Structure 1
Amino acid sequence: MRQSTAAEAVLQRRKWELPAYRGRAKRIKPADLFVYAAGALILIIAICAAFPQWIAPYSPTDMMLDAIMQGPSAAHPFGTDYYGRDILSLVVYGSRDSLYIGFMSVLVGGLAGGAIGTISGYIGGAVDAVLMRIVDVLMTIPGILLALAIAAAMGPGLGNIVLAVAAASVPGYARVMRGQTISIKSRPFVTASRAIGATPFSIFWKHVLPNSLSPLLVMATLGIGTAILTGSGLSFLGLGVLKEIPDWGALLSQGRGYLTVAWWICTYPGLAITLLVLAVNIVGDWLRDRLDPKRKEG
């Protein structure tokens, strides 16, 4: 009788403790709030880039002569520029090219650098020596300087600036993928696959490549912010997109001469660049923590 009473007491206590424990487990950590806010900001900017005509209050080419260089107001929350164009509308429309440069340059650079690093690490020998010496030469040149030289040689244009920024990121991706490939191909499960007669292509496709992609994915996510900054810097220098609707870097360049009399012209495009890069870096750090088993254990 006493044993059943004690057992019932334990069960009753656990019944009350379990919901409390679950509540603590589901409680959102303060660090997660930054990740959610960063993800929401990236989503908002992506929507602005995809549907600017639905969000911008004015056309970016409308020149309102009666509202030239007006400060932020209810009619123009971000003010107007020296042509009477609405800055908010320019920022919304300019997000399209800025996001395109950031994501496409990372995609092109990640694919090219990842392919070079994977081939170099998996084949080894003379192929590895030749490819890595080329990568070493490229790594001696600062990324922004390399992108600047390529953009200057190819000329302004959206495609050219994507290639310039992508080329500057290739050495980093190649180094990461080479190291990861060399590490994976020496693992016991790869050795076992080779021992049972698996072909080199099968080993690469089924074992080496899938297990090497996590660091590349994390690096690409973190590289989006750098790519956006580099693209904006090239546009600021006049080597970016030459269009009637400027991107954020070009908006900064156009407003720098009016900083003392109309601070809002370049402040809001610069703030957009800062917030987007910060949001991408926060999401990249979160993704790195989720994909890195060592950080999970810690």
Structure 2
Amino acid sequence: MSETALLPAAPEAPAVPAARGRSARVLVLSIAGLVASVAMILLSASPDYFVTTLRLVVAAAGVALMVVSGSALGRQLFGPAFDLSFWFSVAWLLLLGLAVTFAPWLPFGEHLDVANSLDQPINASPDPFSANPLGTNLFGLDLLARSVYGARSSLVIAVTAVVIGTVIGGAIGMVAGYFQKSVDRVVGIFTNSLLAVPPLILLIALATVLEPRIRNIAFALSLLTIPGMVRLARATTMLYAPREFVVAARALGATRVRILFRELLPNVLLPIVSLAIVMISILIVAEASLSFLGLGIEPPEPTWGNMIAEGEGTVFEDHPHIVLVPGTFLFLTVFAFNLVGEKARRRWDPRSVKL
């Protein structure tokens, strides 16, 4: 055997500096990509440089670059589990909530009274450097202000309807899941009866009878949430009712009301809340559909549905921003609620609980 074979192998050079160099390059490229994407979006929003089609292409490219760069930057800063879409959804809902809350004190243009917008240009295109950054409609009303105030109407209606449906449906479902037998059969008939009626037919029928007010629309939409809440609360209650802590409480002489509120409700509440978040997005779309058909909140009071209806037909061909602005608000809000609700459902799904 040669002497060289007996010599120890030379240690490999550490790969840490190379990995750090790659991380630094990715970090720099991500920040540069974010800056470039913001510049592209701002450039596409200005009507002085490009025609409409090219502006849309530049804006889409800027959004795509922002998503890629933001994901890479987030993974570099917060680890590989970073979810850009989730945090974007949370940020959008927080921003929208703050804008809706403080809308009367924000420097928005006129959103309601046409008499106060006589000096404003009509159908003005979006321009981030003007007094109307998202443009105006055919009455000269500011689209940014109308979109924010429209969010107030849509969110109040959807959240109120979900709260009503969650309280009523959750209580009925827990009672049916705990007592079962004849109570469960009666609740099943009631739930199936509501599910047998097409939702749009039911909403149109109620809208023709009730006055188009926020309270009435919220009541009508709450009927859509009750069956789903009943079924989820019933299934979750039946899952936890045989558990040891419920049996022990029953053996110690706890009343049925105490068992339902103290033992079962905390375990049923989390899955219901996750479904309620998703239901908010569904009811926002339902309310927008009613307003688009002229059965919801009537103009000039803004909602996303009647704002989209303002731009249909030839108006959309000449001034697409009248539809795209409220449509974008509607899309981003529904997307955010859906994503946050699905994230909560995967975390709080009772089927994932280790029994």
- Shorter-normalised TM range: 0.7 to 0.9
The answer for the alignment partner of 1:175 in structure 2 is 231
Q: Which runs of 5+ in 2 are unaligned?
A: 1-74
The equivalent residue for 1:189 is 245
Deviation at 1:242, TM superposition (A): 2.5
User: Counterpart in 2 of 1:47?
Assistant: 98
Name the CA distance, whole Å, in 2 between partners of 1:270 and 1:137.
Answer: 34
**2:89 is equivalent to residue 33 of structure 1:** no
* Structure 1 counterpart of 2:148: 92
Please name the residue that 1:63 is paired with.
117
Correspondences of 1:69-218 after superposition (within 5 Å): 69-73=123-127, 74-75=129-130, 76-218=132-274
User: Shift of residue 187 of structure 1?
Assistant: 1.9
Contact 1:56-1:92 within 8 A present in 2 as well: no
Q: Which amino acid is the alignment partner of residue 331 of structure 2?
A: T
Give the distance between the partners of 2:106 and 2:99, measured in 1 at CA.
Answer: 7
Structure 1 residues 30 and 65: alpha-carbon distance in aligned structure 2, compared to 1, 3 A threshold: farther
* Number of residue-to-residue matches in the alignment: 274
Give the Cα–Cα distance (whole angstroms) in 2 for the partners of residues 37 and 102 of structure 1: 21
Find 2:346's aligned residue among 263, 280, 289: 289
Structure 1: runs of 5+ lacking an equivalent: 1-23
Conserved? CA contact 2:299–2:306, under 8 Å: no
CA contact (8 A) 1:102 1:224 kept: yes
Deviation at 1:201, TM superposition (A): 2.1
Displacement after TM superposition at 1:290 (Å): 2.5
CA deviation profile, 1:145-178 (whole Å, cap 9, x unmatched) = 3223222221311111111111111111111111
Distance between the aligned counterparts of 2:172 and 2:353, measured in 1? 30
Find the aligned partners of 1:282 and 1:163 in 2 and give their Cα distance. 25
In 2, distance between residues paired with 1:210 and 1:69?
52
How many Å separate the matches in 2 of 1:96 and 1:46?
9
Distance 2:253 2:352 in 1: 35
Identity between Structure 1 and Structure 2 (%): 33
Deviations 1:213-237 (A, max 9, x none): 1211110011111111111111111
CA distance in 2, matches of 1:32, 1:294: 23
Q: Which residue identity does 1:175 align to in structure 2?
A: R
Q: Is the 8 A contact 2:271 2:350 kept in 1?
A: no
1:231 aligns with 2:287: yes
Q: CA deviation at 1:260?
A: 0.8
CA contact (8 A) 2:281 2:337 kept: yes
Counterpart-to-counterpart distance in 2, 1:147 and 1:215: 26
Partner of 2:336: 279
Structure 1 equivalent of residue 278 of structure 2: 222
Q: Is 137-146 or 93-102 further displaced after alignment?
A: 137-146
TM-score for both structures, normalised by structure 1 = 0.85
Asked whether the equivalents of residues 72 and 78 of structure 1 are also in contact (C-alpha less than 8 Å), the reply is yes
Match in the other structure for 1:20: none
Match of residue 322 from structure 2? 265
Partner of 1:9: none
Taking the aligned partners of 2:289 and 2:86, their CA distance within structure 1 comes to: 26
CA RMSD of aligned residues (A): 2.2
Which structure: larger Rg?
2
Q: 1:292 to 1:262 in 2, by over 3 A?
A: same
Distance in 1, Cα, partners of 2:157 & 2:177: 29
Distance 2:250 2:353 in 1: 31
Amino acid at match of 2:264: V
> What TM-score results when the alignment is normalised by the length of structure 2?
0.72
* TM-superposed deviation, 1:198: 2.4
User: Match of 2:83, as an amino acid?
Assistant: D
User: Hey, what's the Cα distance between the residues in 1 that align with 2:308 and 2:82?
Assistant: 32
Residue identity matched to 1:69? N
Per-residue displacement from partner, 1:173-225 (whole Å, max 9, x unpaired)? 11111111122112232223222332222222221222111211110011111
Q: Which residue of 2 aligns with 1:8?
A: none
Letter in 2 for 1:285: E
